[in-house]
Amino acid sequence: MGFLVVTDQSDLEAVANSVLRTRLSKTARAAALDGIRAANPGLDFSRLKPGAVIRIPTTDGLKSTGKTDGLDTRLDDLRSMTNDALERLSADSTAANQANDQERNATLTLLKSDAVAGLAGHLPALKESIDSVLKTLEEDSKEERQQVKDLIDSVDVWTRQLEKLSAL
């Protein structure tokens, strides 16, 4: 499927004249026009404005110009850059979660050490604070793991949606 960016075309007939060969039977021309309409649901072909993008389905009767307006390439580039950014987002989030886990583990090791436990045995307020921090660290860890999982799941969905869009 190709694309046409409307420049000065004002209606479907003008678009057809731009993309279809001149020597088409009435039946072939009508079929091509029906295909263009079907590929662009919701587009009002009676009032096309410059800048509108029209999908042109592959069909018999299209002109072979040997050139492209570059829109397909730009869309592929955009999809590729978006996929790369989504992959980096997943990887960076996972790496940040791992770094946070290491920091939490170091804090847990310290708070559960014999030295801190000895002090906490003599200071009830310190014991309460340590217990509160331990509980918060565990809750934060679970919440962060869930957020990263949700993000990665969302990235997978977005990537599949981009693949579907690129097939249009």
pLDDT tens-digit profile of 82-100?
888 988 999 999 999 999 9
Q: Are residues 19 and 52 in the same domain?
A: yes
Contact at 8 Å (CB) between 143 and 121?
no
pLDDT band for position 63 (50/70/90)? low
Q: Are residues 104 and 148 in the same domain?
A: yes
Q: Which residue has the higher pLDDT, 35 or 165?
A: 35
Q: Are residues 99 and 160 in the same domain?
A: yes
Q: Are residues 99 and 25 in the same domain?
A: no
**Residue 86, CA distances (Å) to 31, 127, 144 in order:** 40, 43, 18
Q: Are residues 78 and 140 in the same domain?
A: yes
Contact at 8 Å (CB) between 144 and 136?
no
**65 assigned to some structural domain:** no
Backbone angles phi, psi at 2, to 5 degrees: -110, 180
Per-residue pLDDT, 126: 94
The residue with tokens 């662009």 is 40
**62 assigned to some structural domain:** no
Give residue 12's domain range: 2-56
pLDDT at 65 over 80: no
Contact at 8 Å (CB) between 24 and 32?
yes
Q: Are residues 47 and 130 in the same domain?
A: no
- Segment 160-168 mean pLDDT: 76
Q: Are residues 7 and 46 in the same domain?
A: yes
**Residue 141, CA distances (Å) to 9, 64, 168 in order:** 58, 59, 41
Instruction: Count how many domains the chain has.
Output: 2
Task: Measure the CA–CA gap between 137 and 152, rounded to whole angstroms.
Answer: 22
Q: Are residues 43 and 98 in the same domain?
A: no
**63 assigned to some structural domain:** no
Task: List % helix, strand, coil for the chain (3-state, nearest 5).
Answer: 70, 5, 25
The residue with tokens 């599949």 is 160
Q: What residue type is assigned to position 131 of the chain?
A: D
Q: Are residues 78 and 136 in the same domain?
A: yes
The alpha helices in 1-123, defined as continuous H runs, are 12-19, 26-39, 71-111, 114-122
pTM listed for this prediction: 0.53
Q: Are residues 150 and 127 in the same domain?
A: yes
- In terms of DSSP bridges, do strands 53-56 and 2-5 run parallel, antiparallel, or are they unpaired? antiparallel
Task: Measure the CA–CA gap between 149 and 112, rounded to whole angstroms.
Answer: 29
Contact at 8 Å (CB) between 148 and 93?
yes
Per-residue pLDDT, 66: 44
Contact at 8 Å (CB) between 33 and 84?
no
Average pLDDT taken over every residue of the chain: 85
Q: What digits encode the pLDDT tens for the residues 103-159?
A: 999 999 999 999 999 999 999 999 999 999 999 999 999 999 999 999 999 998 988
**66 assigned to some structural domain:** no
Q: What digits encode the pLDDT tens for the residues 102-111?
A: 999 999 999 9
**107 assigned to some structural domain:** yes
Q: Which residue has the higher pLDDT, 76 or 160?
A: 160
